């Protein structure tokens, strides 16, 4: 158990809909990262928050948005869903904002989103 | 544009033998490299890392080698055990303050008892 909790574990929704994925980081971790893993793809970095503020942005579509709340949990909002958005979405957390990402990064079990 | 590449989607090795997983990268600004291991239905877990100032880092049965001139790193597992069967992701990070990791597509390792 990494200490990072993601809900829900599975989500099936129709095209055009909007969903929210939730992540609770490990206790004491201030950074939250969102990653997308599509079929046969590596983990694609979407966005990072540190202590409530956006710190880095990757290949995140304009239809997607995220935020980190004062209690440090984070939500990833996906709207106008398309079939191609079907993927595993992982959240990771770490204590530090710069460097040393390795050992301090802990991943949740992921949310499997299926768009039909 | 895949900046970190794992060209072997799968690898099978006999128990007790050496497993060698390879990874290539294109961005010369990367200065920190990691390997993650992923079991089905679980998130990736950190395995081992190496800074660009080193060419080797060892942790028990796991050793990571870095060849900066070739932009290549490899993970050696010796001896391989059935419990090592998983998907291994190579990742790279660069530039102080840039926290996003670039991941490869993964190599599925199967250790045959």
Nearest CA in chain A to B104: A42
Q: What does the CA dihedral A17, A106, A2, A60 come to, rounded to 10 degrees?
A: 0
Name the DSSP class of A26: P
| Window from A36-50, A68-82, B67-81, B84-98 with minimum mean pLDDT | B84-98
DSSP string over A34-84: EEEE-TT--EEEEEEEETTEEEEE-S--TTEEEEE-TTS-EEEEE-S--GG
Is residue B70 predicted with pLDDT exceeding 70? yes
For B39-42, the CB contacts below 8 A with 24+ separation are B39/B86, B39/B87, B41/A109, B42/A109
What mean pLDDT do residues B31-50 have? 90
CB-defined contacts A:B, below 8 A: 70
The per-residue pLDDT for range A31-82, each reduced to its tens digit, is 899 999 987 677 888 998 989 999 888 889 999 999 999 999 999 999 999 9
User: Are A43 and B46 in contact (CB < 8 Å)?
Assistant: no
Distance from A75 to chain B by nearest Cα, in Å? 17
Q: What angle is formed at CA A95 by the lines to CA A32 and CA B100, rounded to 5 degrees?
A: 50
């Amino acid at each position: 158990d990494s200490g990072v909790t993601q809900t829900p574990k599975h989500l099936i929704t129709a095209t055009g809909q909007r969903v929210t994925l939730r992540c609770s980081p490990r206790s004491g971790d201030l950074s939250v990262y969102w990653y997308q893993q599509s079929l046969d793809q590596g983990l694609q970095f979407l966005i990072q928050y540190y202590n409530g503020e956006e710190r880095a942005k990757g290949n995140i579509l304009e239809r997607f948005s995220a935020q980190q709340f004062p209690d440090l949990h984070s939500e990833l909002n996906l709207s106008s869903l398309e079939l191609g958005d079907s993927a595993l979405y992982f959240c990771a957390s770490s204590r530090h904002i710069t460097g040393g990402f390795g050992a301090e990064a802990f991943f949740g079990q992921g949310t499997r989103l299926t768009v039909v | 544009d895949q900046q970190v590449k794992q060209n072997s989607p799968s690898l099978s090795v006999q128990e007790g033998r050496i497993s060698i997983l390879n990874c290539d990268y294109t961005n010369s600004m990367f200065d920190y490299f990691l390997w993650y291991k992923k079991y089905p239905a679980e998130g990736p877990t950190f395995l081992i890392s190496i800074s660009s100032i080193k060419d080797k880092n060892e942790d028990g049965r796991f050793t990571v080698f870095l060849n900066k001139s070739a932009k290549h790193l490899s993970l050696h597992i010796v001896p391989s055990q059935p419990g090592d069967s998983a998907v291994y992701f190579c990742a790279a990070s660069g530039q102080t303050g840039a926290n996003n990791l670039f991941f490869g597509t993964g190599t599925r390792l199967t250790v045959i008892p």
